[in-house]
Amino acid sequence: MPAITTPPSRRDKPAAVHGVAFILKKATLSALVALVLFSLMIGVRTEAGPTGQLIFWTRFGDLAMMVAAVFGGSILVELLRQAIAKRRGAPLISEQAQAKFTGLGRFLGPALLVFTFLVPVLFYDQRYILDLGILVLTYVMLGWGLNIVVGLAGLLDLGYVAFYAVGAYSYALLATTFGLSFWICLPLAGILAAFWGMLLGFPVLRLKGDYLAIVTLAFGEIIRLVLLNWQHVTGGPNGISGVPRPSFFGIPLTPADDGLAARLGIEFSSTHRVVFLFYIILALALLTNWVTIRLRRLPIGRAWEALREDEIACRSLGINTTKTKLTAFATGAMFGGFAGAFFATRQGFISPESFTFQESALVLAIVVLGGMGSQLGIALAALAMIGGFELFRGFEEFRMLVFGAAMVLLMIWRPRGLVGHREPSIFLQTKTAISSSLVKEGHG
Amino acid sequence: MDYFAQQLINGLVLGSIYGLIAIGYTMVYGIVGMINFAHGDIFMIGGFIALISFLILVAMGMTAVPLILLLVLLVAMATTALYGWTVERIAYRPLRQSFRLAPMLSAIGMSFVLSNFAQVAQGARVKPVPPIITGGYTLFEQDGFVVRLSNIQIIIVVTTVVLLAVFSWLVARTRLGRDMRACEQDQTMAALLGVDVDRTISMTFVIGAALAAVAGMMYLLYYGVVDFFMGFLAGIKAFTAAVLGGIGSLPGAMLGGIAIGLIETFWSAYFSTEYKDVAAFSILIIVLIFLPTGLLGRPEVEKV
């Protein structure tokens, strides 16, 4: 594969500050391009008519609006670019402010943790916030799980949702078929997912980079398609409904006489279960985080990071790359499986719909935006992504459009993620954070 | 035998469509070394543009089918090529010096943008069109089973062969093709020798998108439907085709496309329709593991 390096070309010269004529010319060109792009796709709307015949009508108003928006947007972008170019050399945030922020960052993690613990107390009667919190924590956990594979071991996995699905279906099937409780199924789901991780890991040991990405993507799709088509086991597109809710270590959270509320002598409320679920996923996420942090200090964690930095050097130094890669896949998959089991018990209903490629892309975006390996960064990225997603709740159809656009823009703006530094796992005398641009991404 | 022959024809036609998309993947991968995840959605956009321009031309009162088809083809190729150019300009060019994951995520984001743009702009429902090209030939008849070769199938295969010939010539003989091959080998050196790297890469995307538009139009004519989600699966299968044929090789992409088309058709015909996509993905995995250079690809040497 040829290296993606281009020689310094025109666009790398210090951007000169151009006059009004230049900006207008550029905006006009953009508007013209937009006109051609949108004239058919937006200017004309097609729909299958009542008789099955295709009908169409024109929407020149929308078209004009879009073109005008591109014209205005183009001027705005150019002005912004010039404003940034003027202060070239001086970073957007000064060094001191950055240092301060790094200092603050040390307290941000614990503060965030304490806040998260208090969320069910603070927002006890706001069901919506609790549900959103559970959702965010699920993605934080998925992000931390995938981080082991992508951020630590440098293996690009585009099919992480497969393990999430394996975990969810493991729990749903075990619980509905054999009536096993959540607490027995949770480790089983993790083990099964880890097993699938190994199964995927074996064939892809020799693959690198983009090829690895595409194979994992294919693997994720295969799992989804099998779940969709293996009707008599998985229920096909109808999914599995009536997945049992978790019990408080054997005590059900129901209004019945043997329920938790009755035993404690308090009034039953459905919020109890939501709060309980919140703490389960928080505990699971923290477990993922703790295991990751501990593993980074163990030989296997160091081997992962060494593998990411240079596979050939690793092999020369006698590291068993097969074992290293397989453990990374299995560990990451296991946490995906835990999260999946939790997802199944929380939803009470699962179907292949929930395990599309979009989910994998979302989790990967969280990991990359979090700075690939920064635990705090991933938590913040998950909060930003899922929170941002929630803002578009009323505009379902624009959600993915905006998500895609945000992914592109964030990659252009901060390809190294929102949190730009990493805690080194090994250091000499003093521990200093290193820039994430010094961390290799691995070649799979 | 007759059933087999019919499936063979169907597979070749499907494979031609995959091959046309695969060329876009293989050229982009060869030159910038990234999987253009948005390429499948470019194909989908091509299908939509062909559909809309067809409707407009018919509404304008045109009746000569060959003329309409030619105009639709030109409009679809030109507009979709502009889509390809814009995607490269917005999402990939700023990231060319960036680390490897960035353009990939940007491409995935772009793929979401394109498919959801089509959904928002044209609605989520499948768009059916009545068969435009009808008629065909009965090749032979055996035990009451008729093996047919329809006109649309002939058109698809002929168009594909012609386009492949034109683009092979373009890459092998023209200045642009030389520039492209130079950039593929060493962008820095090519730039030093006076090749405009940015322009060459842009042109690669433009050509790939134009071919995807042809594939989109053929798909529309053959299956009579387009929808906003068709780009994803077709895209992955076409990428499989590109890998199977050997990434970076034009005839390889075509060969891979036909192989995937045949496998998918025969799998549906003899085993099960439900698992035909699983078959395609399994082939992708198997090929990548046992034959990573593909059928016609060059082995990649790892340098330390």
Most A CBs within 10 Å, among B42, B116, B125, to test the A interface: B116
pLDDT of A164 over the 90 cut:
yes
Sorting pLDDT into bands at 50, 70 and 90, what band is A100? Answer: low
Chain A 294-313, CB below 8 Å of chain B: which residues?
312
Q: Which residues of A touch B91 (CB under 8 A)?
A: 408, 411-412
Q: Does any CB of chain A come closer than 8 Å to the CB of residue B125?
A: yes
Same domain (yes/no): A270, A166: yes
Q: Which residue of B has its CA nearest to A312?
A: B304
- Are B128 and A48 a contacting pair at CB < 8 A? yes
Percent over 90 (pLDDT), chain A: 24
Mutate to test the interface with B, among A222, A314, A360, A363 (most CBs of B within 10 A): A222
Domain membership of residue A378 (yes or no) is no
Band the pLDDT of A443: cuts 50, 70, 90: low
The per-residue pLDDT for B276 is: 83
- Give contacts of A38 with chain B, Cβ < 8 Å: 121
Chain B's closest residue to A151, CA to CA, is B101
Partners of A251 in the β-ladder:
A248
Average pLDDT (B81-92) is 93
Same domain, A76 and A112: no
The answer to whether residue A391 sits within a structural domain is no
pLDDT for res A421: 60
Residue A14: its pLDDT value, please?
47
Give the per-residue pLDDT at B209. Answer: 94
Nearest chain A residue to B285 by CA distance is: A215
Cross-chain residue pair A412–B94, CB shorter than 8 Å: yes
Q: Which of A99-103, A106-110, A366-370, B178-182 has the lowest mean pLDDT?
A: A99-103
pLDDT of residue A8: 45
Residue B167: inside a domain, yes or no?
yes
Tokens of A47: 């729909």
Q: Is the pLDDT of residue A2 over 50?
A: no
The reported pLDDT for the residue numbered A95 is 59
Is A68 a member of any domain? yes
pLDDT in tens, A150-160: 888 888 888 99
Looking at residue A238, what DSSP letter applies? G
Average pLDDT of chain B is 87
Q: How many CB pairs under 8 A join A and B?
A: 226
With a cut of 70, say whether residue A415 has pLDDT above it: yes
pLDDT at B262 (0 to 100): 92
Letter for the amino acid at B29? Answer: Y
Confirm whether A417 is domain-assigned. no
How far apart, in Å, are the Cα atoms of B193 and each of A3, B182, B186?
18, 10, 11
Q: Are residues A18 and A127 in the same domain?
A: no
In a domain, B302, yes or no: no
- Number of domains forming the structure of chain B: 1
Is residue A156, in this structure, part of any structural domain at all?
yes
pLDDT at B219: 92
Domain presence at residue B300: no
A220-229, B102-111, B146-155: the lowest-pLDDT one: B146-155
pLDDT value, residue A89: 55
Least confident of A205-219, A430-444, B94-108, B239-253: A430-444
Q: Which of A317, A336, A360 is the last residue in one of the domains? A: A360
Residue of A nearest to B84 (CA): A37
Residue B48 clears pLDDT 90, i.e. is over it: yes
Q: B189 at the A interface (CB within 8 A)?
A: no
Q: Tell if the CB–CB gap between B127 and A54 is shorter than 8 Å.
A: yes
Mean pLDDT within A216-221? 90
Q: Is B113 on the interface with A (CB under 8 A)?
A: yes
CA–CA dist A350, A173 (Å, integer)? 10
Residue B119 sits in which domain range? 2-290
pLDDT at B125 > cutoff 70: yes
Q: Is residue A412 over pLDDT 80?
A: yes
Q: Are residues A134 and A42 in the same domain?
A: no
> In DSSP terms, which residues pair with A435 in a beta bridge?
A421
> Which candidate from A36, A312, A441 shows the least CB-CB separation from B100?
A441
Task: Note whether B288 contacts A225, CB cutoff 8 Å.
Answer: no
| Cβ(A421)–Cβ(A102) below 8 Å | yes
> Is the model more confident about B112 or about A415?
B112
Quickly state the pLDDT bin for B87 (edges 50, 70, 90): very high
Evaluate if residue A16 carries a pLDDT over 60: no
ipTM field: 0.85
pLDDT of residue A336: 95
Last residue of a domain, one of A342, A360, A378: A360
Query: Is it the case that residue A90 has pLDDT exceeding 60?
Result: no
CA Rg value for chain A: 25
Residue A226 has pLDDT above 60, yes or no: yes
- Domain range enclosing A71: 14-86
| Residue whose token pair is 């969320």 | A119
Q: What is the CATH number of the domain that holds B202?
A: 1.10.3470
Answer yes or no: do A44 and B52 touch at CB < 8 A. Answer: yes
User: Does position B181 have pLDDT exceeding 60, yes or no?
Assistant: yes
Q: Is A349 among the domain residues?
A: yes
In terms of domains, do A194 and A50 share one?
Answer: no
Mean pLDDT of A249-259: 72
Residue A438 has what pLDDT? 66
Query: Taking the alpha carbons of A41, A42, A44, A49 in that order, is the dihedral positive or negative?
Result: positive
Same domain assignment for residues A31 and A179: no
User: What pLDDT, in 10s, does the model give residues A277-312?
Assistant: 999 999 999 999 999 989 988 999 999 988 888 888
pLDDT value at residue A3: 45
A4 interface with B at CB cutoff 8 Å: yes
DSSP reduced 3-state for A177: helix
Residue B82 lies in a domain: yes
pTM: 0.87
Q: State the average pLDDT over residues A418-425.
A: 64
Q: Taking 90 as the threshold, does the pLDDT of residue B127 lie above it?
A: no
Residue B295 counted as domain residue: no
Confidence of residue A40 (pLDDT cuts 50, 70, 90): confident
Per-residue three-class SS string for A83-118: HHHHCCCCCCCCHHHHHHHHHHHHHHHHHHHHHHHH
- pLDDT-based confidence at residue A9 (cuts at 50, 70, 90): very low
Q: Does B127 reach chain A within 8 Å, measured CB to CB?
A: yes
Inter-chain contact B288–A215, Cβ cutoff 8 Å? yes
Tell me the residues of chain B between 260 and 289 that have a Cβ less than 8 Å away from chain A. 274-275, 277-278, 281-282, 284-285, 288-289
Q: Return the residue in B75, B288, B291, B298 with the most chain A beta carbons within 10 A, the one to mutate for interface testing.
A: B288
Residues A186 and A292 placed together within one structural domain of the fold: yes
Contact B52 A42 (CB under 8 A): no
Rounded Cα–Cα distance for residues A420 and B231 (Å): 35
Which residues in B lie closer than 8 A to residue A206 (C-beta atoms)? 289, 292
Q: Do A75 and A163 belong to one domain? A: no
Residue A255 lies inside a defined structural domain of this protein: yes
The pLDDT confidence band at residue A124, using thresholds 50, 70 and 90, is confident
Q: Which of A197-211, A254-268, A357-371, B243-257 has the lowest mean pLDDT?
A: A254-268
A52 touches chain B (CB under 8 A): yes
Minimal C-alpha gap between B159 and chain A (Å): 24
Residues of B in contact with A160 (CB under 8 A): none
A27 touches chain B (CB under 8 A): no
Report the chain B residue with the minimal C-alpha distance to residue A35. B79
CA distance A120 to chain B (A): 34
Would the pLDDT of A168 be above 60? yes
* Inter-chain touch A7–B188, beta carbons under 8 Å: yes
Residue B81, pLDDT score: 94
Q: Is A440 exposed, middle or buried (0-12, 13-18, 19+ CB in 10 A)?
A: middle
Mutate which of A30, A54, A367, A411 to test chain B, going by most B C-beta atoms within 10 A?
A411
Report CA-CA distances (Å) from B209 to B55, B216, B225: 22, 10, 20
Inter-CA distances, A151 with A148, A212, A314, Å: 6, 15, 17
With a pLDDT cut of 90, the percent of chain B lying above it is 35
In a domain, A178, yes or no: yes
Residue B58 lies in a domain: yes
Q: Which residue of A has its CA nearest to B192?
A: A7
- Specify if B174 maps to a domain: yes
SS3 of residue A371 by DSSP:
coil
Mean pLDDT of B106-121: 91
Q: Which residues in chain A have their CB less than 8 angstroms from residue B241's CB?
A: none
A79, A23 Cβ separation under 8 angstroms: yes
A44 touches chain B (CB under 8 A): yes
Asked, for residue B216, whether it belongs to a domain, the answer is: yes
Most confident of A260-264, A348-352, B133-137: A348-352
Q: Within a 10 A sphere around the Cβ of A117, how many other Cβ atoms?
A: 13
Q: How confident is the model at residue A431 (pLDDT cuts 50, 70, 90)?
A: low
